[in-house]
Amino acid sequence: MGSGQRKVEKRSGLENDSFLKEHETAPESGCLSIIVLGASGDLAKKKTFPALYHLYRQGFLHPDEVHIFGYARTRISDDELRDRIRGDILAKKLKLYQSSCNQIKYVSGSYDTEDGFQLLDKEISQHEVSKNSAEGSSRRLFYLALPPSVYPTVCRMIRKCCMNKADHGGWTRIVIEKPFGKDLESAENLSAHIGELFEEAQLFRIDHYLGKELVQNLLVLRFANRFFLPLWNRDNISNVQIVFRENFGTEGRGGYFDEYGIIRDIIQNHLLQILCLVAMEKPVSLKPEYIRDEKVKVLQSVLPIRDEDVVLGQYDGYRDDPTVPDQSNTPTFATVVLRIHNERWEGVPFILKAGKALNSSKAEIRVQFKDVPGDIFKCQKQGRNEFVIRLQPSEAMYMKLTVKQPGLEMSTVQSELDLSYMQRYQGVPIPEAYERLILDTIRGDQQHFVRRDELKAAWEIFTPLLHRIDNGEMKPKEYQPGSRGPVEADELLAKAGYVQTHGYIWIPPTL
């Protein structure tokens, strides 16, 4: 990061008037320390450190300003941690600059005692002194790549031992990974514990789906293109489907997954966040709090989930995993229909669908429009117009529409208007979600992070359903690996008004 003017948030609490204040500016000339807690774990190795490395390569993290610290219980040396990180980055066939790894210092310590955190603070302070940072200007970013169970303890240790003065443009910020609780009560308890230690403006609850390129494009698509504005409502849209599919099972994560299930793991956070961006009203401006205010309004307008709007599934063989209980009721598949009670979306079902061990791997949004009235071409059987946003893989946006079949006969066929990123933006790398979100954290931009009241509203929607599943009141249907999931899910889609297109396959264009 450069040493110019940056935005520094001076908010405290969740009061509306504080949200609407203009951000005050203050110089950020102090050095930046990024502390990865849980540095020896899988998340840090596969996501956090590679993202930091990419930011370093692209010039967003300058070696004369930033230093990276790893903290974990594992007793290893600086070089051993660097070798672990280097090996994972090389496995991705990326050239590694040795100097980037030399920016990493490792500290070993417990998560629930002061000794380790005092040593960590000492190492950070020595780095700040070596960089001649003015008192009160240094910046400390703590990334919690840890299990949620230790968040309160770790945050308490950071608050007690590792805070810096922030009276001359400096700051301390905390990045928290999901899951943010298991239901409304546990999420509120977690928020209360952490909220006693840090102001809301210091907390960055990260949902990596909000960092994906096509998700970030949603607001631009909706509010910067004139032809979408009159169409994006109940008068024209029949249903919206938000889908996450994987063609593999839990693969060694059975014990962890069984504790949460597909709704907590994918739907309540990732897919619900996408729903907010698809359904929200235009914010007053692009200031983060205006955007997050509109997302909260959407969540507060969602009606309670009815049992008949839910289909659960569990793939055959899931309970063969030795880490999964023999009588597990945990769904590995779910289709949930949500209904938004407001003027724009009354009567439009939002279908959230996620599953493991299915016949394909992809994440996409499908906005299906209503039938054309007075169909003189008799082409409704070919399928409706759909606007599809492919989030992964093969990022793309395409509109399915009916056109004349080339030839002398007046016959119609379904085709598409296609924007495929690999073809249109050749040679332009698409950033990883974690790169973007970590950079946003450094900049203090909370637009793509989950606010406390937003988190509460999300859990209020799903907690009653989750408790019924946990209590065994709702049972998942068995489905075969490699299938579309339970047949009842397709029946629910049809009941919700989704019309499946037969005979049409979108093929990503080749270069």
C-alpha 68/C-alpha 104 separation (Å) is: 5
Q: How far is CA 40 from the centre of its chain?
A: 23
Q: Verify cis geometry, omega within 30 degrees of 0, for the bond prior to 148.
A: no
| b (16+ CB within 10 A) / e for 214-230 | bbbbbbebbeeeeeeee
202's tokens? 């210091």
Note the helical H segments in 25-139.
42-43, 49-57, 78-91, 98-101, 114-130
Query: Is the bond leading into 486 cis (omega within 30 degrees of zero)?
Result: no
Q: Is 270 a catalytic residue?
A: yes
**Catalytic residue chosen out of the listed positions 270, 341, 467, 502:** 270
Burial class (CB in 10 A: 0-12, 13-18, 19+), 481: middle
Q: CA geometry: angle at 251 spanning 321 and 470, to 5°?
A: 60
DSSP helix/strand/coil, 508: coil
Q: Which residues have a Cβ under 8 Å from the Cβ of 267 and sit 6 or more positions away?
A: 244, 334, 336, 352, 354, 462
DSSP letter string, 277-335: HHHPPPPSSS-HHHHHHHHHHHHHTBPPPPGGGEEEEEETTGGGSTTS-TT----SEEE
Helix (H), strand (E), coil (C) string for 240-263 = EEEEEECCCCCCCCHHHHHHHHHH
For residue 367, the surrounding DSSP H or E stretch is strand 362-369
Q: Assess contact for 51 and 60: CB atoms under 8 A.
A: no
- Cα dihedral sign, 35-40-43-49: positive
Q: Are strands 237-245 and 5-8 parallel, antiparallel or unpaired?
A: unpaired
Name the 3-class secondary structure at 400.
strand
Tell me how far apart the alpha carbons of residues 70 and 38 are, in angstroms, rounded to a whole number.
7
How many H-runs (helices) and E-runs (strands) does the chain carry?
Answer: 17, 18
Q: Which residues lie below 8 Å from residue 437, measured CB to CB, with a gap of 6+?
A: 204, 206, 208, 210, 211, 448, 449
Catalytic center residues: 270
